[in-house]
Structure 1
Amino acid sequence: MREGARAARRLAEGAVLRDVIDTSDPSAWLGLDEQVRAEEWYFPPYVAPAWEETAGGRSLTAALRAGGPLTEGQLALALCHRDGRIRHRALGRVAGFPALLPLVAVRCTDWAQPVRDRARERFAEALDAEAAARLAPLVRRLADRHRGDFALGLLGEVLRQAPGERLAPLLASPDRPVRRFAYRLSVEEGLLSPAELARAAARDDDAVVQNLCADAALAAVGEADAEEVLGALLGARSPRARSAGVTALRRLERPGPAVGFLADRSALVRACARYVVRQNGTDPLPWYRDRCADPGDPALPPGAAIGLAECGTHADAALLWPLLDHPVPGVRARAVAGLRALDVTDLPRMRRLLDDPAPGVVGEATLALLPSAGLLPEPWLAERLAAGRPRWVRVSAYRLLDAHGGVARLRAAVALLGDTDERLRTRAELAVRRTRPWGADAEVAELLGRARAHLG
């Protein structure tokens, strides 16, 4: 029996509503509404749920039809009843039961128009600023349903007329759609200053909120608060917020700080920084070349290496090759990525990086070598599948052997069928199962026989 059906039975037996469900959880209300009408997924249609056959269930229906007194729990069951006439009658009795307003909101999306219309009347009568803030998570979920726009529209109207502090809990809500709704409302009503919007863009982990708040902050920023807005955006962890701040440097006629973002860890921020620098009349390429000129510079940021490749030419590979021996793993990895972006590959020089102690470097080297995997010696790669090797080396070796194709791929897959690494073993099993015998190759037949014996 599902939790909602269990809750319905307890309510019919006289349990108090707040003891049966978590009244602060929107999912609990939606689950109750659904499960009051059916106990199990295989419940046959047109047969009453078991709770209706209990003494409490029968007394509920009788009291509702006769106008007798109802408890909060009984009225909750009536609001979710399978019979639309009972739901309609129950909506006429909800006055004086503010705890049932969530179910009234649910009935605003009811499939029966008389029920839906009465629910909307009751919801409009009862919804105030305090209730709107409390019900926002539930109403926002209901908005995704057919006919769910009414409750959301009413919620917005009430909150627009409420004091700004009513939105504060919604702006900090863990529910992402609720935060989006609250920030849109705040932006439309001008409830937050540009500095507050910039801090929100820098702080929030949702891309929609980041873009919304950053755009609104920059649209409203003035000379007086420019420093605070730019400081929040440029110092943000999110690349979206930082890129918005960097791009705004040009509009605010402060292009100087953009140079400091040419080597940012984000490609988006680097591109925006190059745009601002170019618009200020400076070519960023010499800056990248000068920054990468010393391959032993311990302060070299990884973004400088990949940034050089992003705006450089084929000849700039000469500055990237020495960086493959840089002491910082991030620089080595970005240098490999830069060489790949410039379409420059030297098999012997790149191949040694498959034994690099840094997983990021091995991963980038693998991507660079995949198009030339067939030129790498199969026995040399097979050695790196050994169980004693670091996991990232083994994964790299398997990817390259898989790219070999043919019998090399099958050998590598069969060798890993009994491996202790579950993910590698699963990939190997899939490769073997997809293999179809070809030709009269005795080795292929022997490998497939070993695989069948292992897999069963």
Structure 2
Amino acid sequence: MLSVAGAKTWVELDRALRATTCFGSATAPPNGPTPDEGLSRLVTACSWDGRQRESAVASLTDESLLPVLVLRTADWVPQVRERARRSLATAFRSASAPGLLSAVSMAVAIGSWARGGPALDAATAALAAAPDEMLASARGHSDLGVRRLAYRLWLASGRCRDEEVMRAALDEPDGISRLRCAEWLASGGASRVDVLERLLSQGSAMVGVEALTALVKLGRPEAGVAHLTDRSALMRATAQWAARRAGRSPAAIYREALTANRPRARALVAGLGECGTGQDVDVLLPYLEHPSPRVRAEAVRAVRRLGGPMTQITGMLADPAPVVVRAVKQALRHEPDAVPAERLWPLLAADSPPHVRLGAYDQLREKGSWTRVHVDLHLLAASDPELSTRARADLTDWIHHNAATTYRPPAEPMVLRLRQLIDTAEPVIGPHQAGQLRWFLNTG
């Protein structure tokens, strides 16, 4: 089982054995026969006694115990560290692929420790000198740290071919390693234009950004026009930059496509919102009524970004799609007075969809301290358990953090209403919290 243990398991085992040997429940003499010599060496190498750890370091020759030897290179006792580091260099030279990779995994895990650098340096040097087959195995390792280190060494070694790196850039599951391969290909120069075009058309967004950037630097900025409607905002931004370098206006391209009702409306709306001007708001406003909720939500963000009228956005707080209401809430985040309170209270009705009620609640909470208390008390008796729970937590938060700085009392009609609500809510919030609310109401 220990042969397949991960670095975290080894660290936890080391701590556990150190604690148990300290209290005498797992003793194992460093000398003399035992039923299991490997277990004896393991227990001794993880002993609380530094002398025992130092004596055990030289005997950690079993490949399954290499991770423990790596751990000892970061030991807090200098004599143990130095002896372990000397032994590690020798062990790496004779280790098989599985033994070396398990040790590398541990070295990567402790590489950021205060004393973990030497082990990582030794593991890096051993992996760099390993045969191609072992390096290929490391690139498929389940430990992402080992995988990324192997890719970095492979790409720097000069032993990789374009086609191999291309496959990794397209198919490697780890995004960081995939991006490194794309960066390596993108730095190859004009002879790899066909490779870059393939990466741009088939790769992930991050890989595509690297490829398009390289193509622009090679004098092919027109390649970006086809990617102005990419789903990724980062890819769209890079494509917009490329289009400008090609002498094209990305805003004009978006504007023309939206006016002609071309497909991929969501990306077109997002793109125009990213690079358009206030004059483009009229092009975007019809998309606030688009049949697709995703397009409507994107239109809300685009209109808000370009400074469009808030009146049409605020009316969408009752949109049947939660994604649209979330976009409206985000657009109104710094506009607490954009929607009058009298328009928000009806949205809390029991027959309103849950996301509409939540949106109205969030807006009312921003209307002022006493309106916040009012809506919290109102919702304590609501049939919606989620909103009721939110309201109770928010009321407690107001009492603890905001009540003391609420200096102005509410108007008299509000005072009467709040007193009635406090009386109604007392069985839910308890007499202590009800008393606190009455006191703040009378002294506010």
Counterpart of 1:376 (choices 339, 343, 347) is 339
Distance across 2 between alignment mates of 1:35 and 1:149: 24
Residue 403 (structure 1) shift:
1.9
Aligned match of 1:231 = 198
Residue 81 (structure 1) shift:
0.3
Residue 71 (structure 1) shift:
1.6
Residue 111 (structure 1) shift:
0.9
Residue 48 of structure 1 aligns with an amino acid whose one-letter code is C
Residue 216 (structure 1) shift:
1.5
Counterpart of 2:74 (choices 92, 97, 109) is 109
- 2:220 pairs with 1:257: no
Q: Secondary structure at the match of 2:152?
A: helix
- 2:409 pairs with 1:439: yes
Aligned match of 1:166 = 134
Residue 337 (structure 1) shift:
0.8
Counterpart of 2:324 (choices 354, 361, 380) is 361
Distance across 1 between alignment mates of 2:54 and 2:109: 23
Distance across 2 between alignment mates of 1:150 and 1:191: 26
Structure 2's unaligned 5+ residue stretches are 431-444
Q: Which has the higher helix share?
A: 2
Distance across 1 between alignment mates of 2:128 and 2:208: 30
Residue 274 (structure 1) shift:
1.4
Percent identity at matched positions?
30
Name which of structure 1's ranges 327-336 and 364-373 shifts more when overlaid on structure 2. Answer: 364-373
Contact 1:193 1:217 in 2 (8 A): no
Counterpart of 2:19 (choices 38, 62, 68) is 38
Distance across 1 between alignment mates of 2:262 and 2:341: 36
Aligned match of 2:45 = 79
Aligned match of 2:101 = 133
Distance across 1 between alignment mates of 2:353 and 2:5: 48
Structure 1's unaligned 5+ residue stretches are 1-17, 40-46
Contact 2:196 2:215 in 1 (8 A): no
- 2:278 pairs with 1:314: yes
Distance across 1 between alignment mates of 2:175 and 2:385: 34
Question: TM-score normalised to the size of structure 2?
Answer: 0.84
Aligned residue pairs total 416
Q: Say if 1:403 and 1:210 are closer, same or farther in 2 by CA, change over 3 A.
A: farther
Residue 439 of structure 1 aligns with an amino acid whose one-letter code is P
Q: Say if 1:246 and 1:111 are closer, same or farther in 2 by CA, change over 3 A.
A: same
Q: Secondary structure at the match of 1:117?
A: helix
Counterpart of 2:209 (choices 243, 268, 288) is 243
Contact 2:297 2:323 in 1 (8 A): yes
Q: Say if 1:235 and 1:387 are closer, same or farther in 2 by CA, change over 3 A.
A: farther
Residue 194 (structure 1) shift:
4.0
Residue 29 (structure 1) shift:
1.2
Q: Say if 1:194 and 1:114 are closer, same or farther in 2 by CA, change over 3 A.
A: same
The correspondence of residues 20-419 of structure 1 with structure 2, limited to 5 A, is 21=2, 23-39=4-20, 48-52=22-26, 57=27, 60-61=28-29, 64-65=30-31, 71-95=37-61, 97-127=62-92, 128=95, 130=97, 131-204=99-172, 208-220=176-188, 222-223=190-191, 225-237=192-204, 239-294=205-260, 297=261, 299-347=263-311, 349-417=312-380
Partner deviation per Cα, 1:193-234 (whole Å, 9 max, x = no partner): 3444454344456554344332222012553x4323432344
Partner deviation per Cα, 1:240-290 (whole Å, 9 max, x = no partner): 222222222212333333111112222221121111111112222221110
Distance across 2 between alignment mates of 1:455 and 1:201: 58
Partner deviation per Cα, 1:31-64 (whole Å, 9 max, x = no partner): 111011225xxxxxxx932414xxxx2xx32xx2
Distance across 2 between alignment mates of 1:194 and 1:358: 47
Residue 155 of structure 1 aligns with an amino acid whose one-letter code is A
Residue 141 (structure 1) shift:
0.6
Question: TM-score normalised to the size of structure 1?
Answer: 0.82
Contact 1:194 1:218 in 2 (8 A): no
Residue 421 (structure 1) shift:
6.1
Q: Say if 1:172 and 1:447 are closer, same or farther in 2 by CA, change over 3 A.
A: farther
